[in-house]
Structure 1
Amino acid sequence: MHISFRKNPSRILIICALCVVFLIGSVLGHLNAGGSSADRSFQTYTDRLFREEVSGNMLNLHYSIAYPEKQQITRPAPTLGTVSAPDDNSISRYREIMKKLQTFDPAGLSETNKITLDMLLLYYKTQQRSTDFYLLEEYLSPSLGMQAQLPVLLAEYAFYQEQDIADYLNLLTSVPAYFDSILDFERQKADAGYFMSDATLKRIVSQCQAFIKEPDSNYMLEVFAAKLKAFGTISESEQKTLNSRHKEILLNTVIPAYQKLIQGLLSLQGSGRPSQGLAHMQKGKEYYLYLLRSQVGSWTAVKDMQNRLTEQISTDMKLVQQMLKEQPSLLRKMKSSLDLPECKPAQMLGALRDRIADDFPELPETEFETRYVHKSMENYLSPAFYLTPPLDTGSPNVIYLNPADQTSNLELFATLSHEGFPGHLYQTIYFQKTAPADIRTLITSSGYIEGWATYTESYGYQYAARDLDDPAATDYTRLVALNRRINLCIYSLLDIGIHYYGWGETQATRFLQFFGITDVHVASDIFQYIVETPANYQKYCWGCLNFLDLKKEWEDTLDDDFDLKTFHRNLLEIGPVQFPVLRKYMHERLQKATKGGAGANVIGLSAPPVLSCFL
């Protein structure tokens, strides 16, 4: 199961809240059974690999496949498992998979299978390094930790069959053992000098306390009762019995597990390291490079990343300065918070779905729904996230919104472009229609996924201008989008400074001051967030820059023959892979487009905005 989060450390600096995505298993179908014998052999192996990977734990399986028995997949024990140190078996398994993958000759495979092969080879080669950094991993964090994810994952545990209800209740009973294993792991980290800072611990404890604050009215009780009622075939008396059993487990098992986790963490208070980056830890720089590869999908040298980020800041700031020079009123409008008219999220998504038609390939009619996070978790959950559907159902497509993080209608519109159209929901459904190998629902690239959604936000701002009652609407929304990207680049440079070069809070504050961010409390919040989430901003910003660079390469090569919709179609069809793989196949397709002639259609199978940076 792949889960990806992001959250703004400071709403005052970024115009559009950094949205969040749960990506757990998303696409439908299998590759064609036809093709060469090499293709069929490779397909057989990847299908087996998928079954092995997806059946590793119950949450993985449930969020990937709604009806596992129909695909001859045996349900694993309905537990959350435990956190344990890597052993020789896991290392040898990676090596065996690599050895098997290397037996397939790419020359005999279709392009679709070549992409999958390259992606898997790079993934498992990278995973072999994961065992070197066991104690540097962190299962708990204020924004991305399991203590925050788990309530949402359990609340959203869909009931497709009656067995799902039993599995869900059993998963709840396994929470204590799972949390106990995490506590044991945190004690190991403390003994080795890797335990979290007291500032981070305090934030995690506050989050856990918010979840268990009113146990008799915990939102999971309401959600469970609603799902039972909607199931349709459970009698009222059975519902009453199940609701009673659910409440008993929640009150006597789950909430005590959270209380024990809180107590266990507090017992370690004072034993952690200061709030500082990975560079201060043994193997910390190596672990940061591992995160860039495994989480972001980037093999670019850190120095080259710095140069590219700096270049983008310079380019965008020059554009901003030029726009403000030509239209000084834009700055006044930014400070006055010029906004879109009030509109429901579903209506915004409908408008976005219609407006992307000129720039993005057509998508089949897609149902979706929006929900709001529970009030008790508003201060701790991300601004928004998209829950991908199981690969065998393709639905539901749910976007969660956090009212606490939405301060303007324009911000909401941009958030929905990131999570919905043409962002996560659109990308997921489009890739689904290409019938990729099932293994690609589990092994993806967060850098591609979040980078795509961040890249497409600029189009969201363009589309929002149509609803803005102002003669300079297009320039205004462009300015907001540029402000957002500049902030992302600043934070990504700060991420490198903190985790690769070892910057402390004083250095980070001076760096932010250079860009006009002078509030010390804001700077402290930014520093703390980046310390707790190494490489997270790179998924969004560095991922976005990779798409921008590919677009420029296609534009420069094709010149007047460049077609934006065709460019996007090729990106979407290759799908979520690491950036070296994406660049390889986009370059091959560009060569074909060049040979194919003009227009060749190459198809393979926050608060009110503040311009603090510019003042």
Structure 2
Amino acid sequence: VQGLLSYESEKSAAGLFMEKEDAKKSAQQCREILTKEALSSGTHFLQTTFSSRLASLLQKGLLTAKRQSQYEAQNQSLLSKSVLPAWQSLADGLEQLSDTGRTRGGLSQKPDGRQYYAWLVKESTGSSLSMDQLYLLLQKQFQKTYKEMKQTLTTYQELTGGTPDLAPVNDGFPLSDPTAILEDLQNRMQQDFPALADLTAQTVQCDIQDVDAGLEAYSSPAFYMIPPIDALMQNTIRINRSSTADGIELYTTLAHEGYPGHLYQTVYSSLVCDTQTLPIRKLFSYGGYVEGWAYYTERISYEYAAQVLAEAEGSLGSSYPAALLCTLLAQQRDLQINLFCLLDLSLHYYGAEESELLRSLESFGLSEEQSERVYDYLRTAPAVYLKYYVGYLEMNALKKRAELQWSDNFSLLRFHRFVLEAGPSDFENLTKRLKQTAAKTG
């Protein structure tokens, strides 16, 4: 904690400390995430999750009941005497520095902020495009997707004579159990994605649980937890039920986090890395590749969702409107994330004002409160959305290059195997690697 406070103090002295309201919110979170009352009741997630893991070890015969009690007592002591005071000290320190924040806008308002942002975007996306090139790419993609979405709406209206009703793909979606959804996704991806069984005879396990209620306010809608290096087959996905709805949203979210998204890519690339590439590559971070792949596969899962609906209704003809709704939902999500990326660049690189961004968000259909929340997220987490969406666009561009290079020998299976076996990388090097491949069947 003292090291973190020293770092924040140096930022303050350099005129780079967070805005006053941000500091107050951070201090409030420090005070709320762990309290004496929660520790006294024994209901805090740092107690309950620790106890549940110990119970699992006890059940497997790896721990005695006496040891379990000792460890729980030790955990309680550490939380009360070390962790709680540390959080309180951090909150106090942030509050003391809160008046030193000088700017509220984006990085463009800070010394050398634009240059830092350009580096941050390149580092997080793995793209070699300049800021101007990225902005133009996003604009063109936005216009393309918007045009496609209008055509989808027109087709739906011509087919049904009415406006889209999203109930069939949300409330009426046939699959709701997370385990059943992952099984369905694994079955549907077989044709276009290489099997993990080609690399290992071991069974990949996945523990799916809801995020603890005490963490919901601070957690993403869902997240995949990378397994320990010596337990690659033991995977974990957590679902935040406060921000992830059932229906197609849960289905596509689990595609993003599980199959054919993060879990599948992590296990596959790790197995290949262990046998074919240098292990040192595991030390590097390639956010654009990892999140770009996850969003790329999430978009594919909307097609899988349409198949689920078709099979539930018994015939493709009767489910055609539902398939269009799946397409419409995918296009809406695409436009939203694209818009957030454009606004991220506008704020942190081009120096747009808060009022400009809020007008853009509200014109997109967001309420005033929603727009302010999105603006605050963009302001405090620069380049995060670009990691997902620019990574996705680069992945699509790589696929198009593969189609041109491989011609009749192209297949999705071959392309996906190429990306997975290459492993996490920046897109410039992925493109070089693609050029080196021979035009042979996958």
CA RMSD of aligned residues (A): 1.9
Partner of 1:332: 164
1:215 paired residue among 4, 18, 39:
39
- CA displacement at 1:313 relative to structure 2: 0.8
Partner of 2:351: 502
- For residues 573 and 445 of structure 1, the distance between their equivalents in structure 2, rounded to whole angstroms, comes to 15
1:196 paired residue among 18, 27, 30:
18
- For residues 307 and 144 of structure 2, the distance between their equivalents in structure 1, rounded to whole angstroms, comes to 26
1:472 partner letter = P
Partner of 2:56: 230
For structure 1, which segment, 395-404 or 460-469, has the greater mean C-alpha deviation from structure 2 after superposition? Answer: 460-469
1:568 partner letter = H
- CA displacement at 1:288 relative to structure 2: 0.7
Partner of 1:100: none
- For residues 398 and 353 of structure 1, the distance between their equivalents in structure 2, rounded to whole angstroms, comes to 16
2:279 paired residue among 419, 430, 438:
438
Distance change in 2, residues 1:337/1:467 (3 Å): closer
Partner of 2:182: 349
- CA displacement at 1:302 relative to structure 2: 0.7
Partner of 1:377: 215
The superposition leaves residues 473-496 of structure 1 with CA deviations (integer Å, 9 ceiling, x where unpaired) of 222111111111111111111111
- For residues 282 and 483 of structure 1, the distance between their equivalents in structure 2, rounded to whole angstroms, comes to 36
- CA displacement at 1:349 relative to structure 2: 0.6
- CA displacement at 1:390 relative to structure 2: 2.1
2:106 paired residue among 272, 277, 290:
277
Aligned pairs, number: 415
Mapping of residues 301-316 of structure 1, within 5 Å: 301-316=130-145
- For residues 274 and 230 of structure 1, the distance between their equivalents in structure 2, rounded to whole angstroms, comes to 49
Residue 234 of structure 2: SS of its match in structure 1? Answer: coil
- For residues 383 and 331 of structure 1, the distance between their equivalents in structure 2, rounded to whole angstroms, comes to 29
Contact 1:505 1:524 in 2 (8 A): no
Contact 1:288 1:500 in 2 (8 A): yes
- For residues 444 and 222 of structure 1, the distance between their equivalents in structure 2, rounded to whole angstroms, comes to 32
- For residues 494 and 544 of structure 1, the distance between their equivalents in structure 2, rounded to whole angstroms, comes to 18
- CA displacement at 1:425 relative to structure 2: 0.5
- For residues 428 and 306 of structure 2, the distance between their equivalents in structure 1, rounded to whole angstroms, comes to 35
- For residues 334 and 225 of structure 1, the distance between their equivalents in structure 2, rounded to whole angstroms, comes to 42
Partner of 2:375: 527
Contact 1:466 1:473 in 2 (8 A): no
1:254 paired residue among 66, 83, 86:
83
1:196 partner letter = M
Partner of 1:546: 394
Q: Does 1:421 align with 2:245?
A: no
Q: Does 1:486 align with 2:318?
A: no
Structure 2: state its 5+ residue gaps. Answer: 198-202, 314-318
User: Which protein is richer in helix relative to its size?
Assistant: 2
Partner of 2:316: none
Residue 368 of structure 1: SS of its match in structure 2? Answer: strand
For structure 1, which segment, 555-564 or 345-354, has the greater mean C-alpha deviation from structure 2 after superposition? Answer: 555-564
TM-score, length basis structure 1? 0.65
For structure 1, which segment, 552-561 or 539-548, has the greater mean C-alpha deviation from structure 2 after superposition? Answer: 552-561
Partner of 2:124: 295
2:242 partner letter = A
- For residues 115 and 18 of structure 2, the distance between their equivalents in structure 1, rounded to whole angstroms, comes to 19
Partner of 2:429: 581
- CA displacement at 1:505 relative to structure 2: 0.7
- For residues 333 and 199 of structure 1, the distance between their equivalents in structure 2, rounded to whole angstroms, comes to 40
2:130 partner letter = A
- CA displacement at 1:513 relative to structure 2: 4.5
Contact 1:498 1:531 in 2 (8 A): yes
1:382 partner letter = S
- CA displacement at 1:511 relative to structure 2: 3.0
- For residues 513 and 343 of structure 1, the distance between their equivalents in structure 2, rounded to whole angstroms, comes to 32
Residue 447 of structure 1: SS of its match in structure 2? Answer: helix
2:265 partner letter = Q
Partner of 1:456: 297
Partner of 1:33: none
Partner of 1:412: 250
- For residues 518 and 533 of structure 1, the distance between their equivalents in structure 2, rounded to whole angstroms, comes to 19
- CA displacement at 1:270 relative to structure 2: 2.2
- CA displacement at 1:369 relative to structure 2: 1.5
- For residues 588 and 181 of structure 1, the distance between their equivalents in structure 2, rounded to whole angstroms, comes to 47
Residue 398 of structure 1: SS of its match in structure 2? Answer: strand
1:202 partner letter = K
Mapping of residues 393-408 of structure 1, within 5 Å: 393-408=231-246
The superposition leaves residues 296-350 of structure 1 with CA deviations (integer Å, 9 ceiling, x where unpaired) of 2222111110111111111111111111112125742138864413521111011
Contact 1:292 1:299 in 2 (8 A): no
Contact 1:275 1:528 in 2 (8 A): no
Contact 1:215 1:255 in 2 (8 A): no
Q: Does 1:467 align with 2:308?
A: yes
- For residues 484 and 451 of structure 1, the distance between their equivalents in structure 2, rounded to whole angstroms, comes to 15
1:536 paired residue among 384, 396, 401:
384
Structure 1: state its 5+ residue gaps. Answer: 1-178, 602-615
- CA displacement at 1:233 relative to structure 2: 3.4
Q: Does 1:363 align with 2:196?
A: yes
- CA displacement at 1:209 relative to structure 2: 2.8
2:92 paired residue among 247, 254, 263:
263
- CA displacement at 1:203 relative to structure 2: 2.9
- CA displacement at 1:234 relative to structure 2: 3.1
Distance change in 2, residues 1:510/1:223 (3 Å): closer
Contact 2:105 2:347 in 1 (8 A): yes
Partner of 2:200: none
1:341 partner letter = P
2:100 partner letter = S
Identical pairs, percent: 32
Contact 2:24 2:94 in 1 (8 A): no
Distance change in 2, residues 1:582/1:497 (3 Å): same
1:569 paired residue among 400, 412, 417:
417
- CA displacement at 1:559 relative to structure 2: 4.3
2:106 partner letter = G
The superposition leaves residues 213-261 of structure 1 with CA deviations (integer Å, 9 ceiling, x where unpaired) of 3122222122222323333333322222221111011011101110111
Mapping of residues 73-92 of structure 1, within 5 Å: none
2:209 partner letter = R
2:18 partner letter = M
Residue 582 of structure 1: SS of its match in structure 2? Answer: helix
Q: Does 1:322 align with 2:151?
A: yes
1:248 partner letter = S
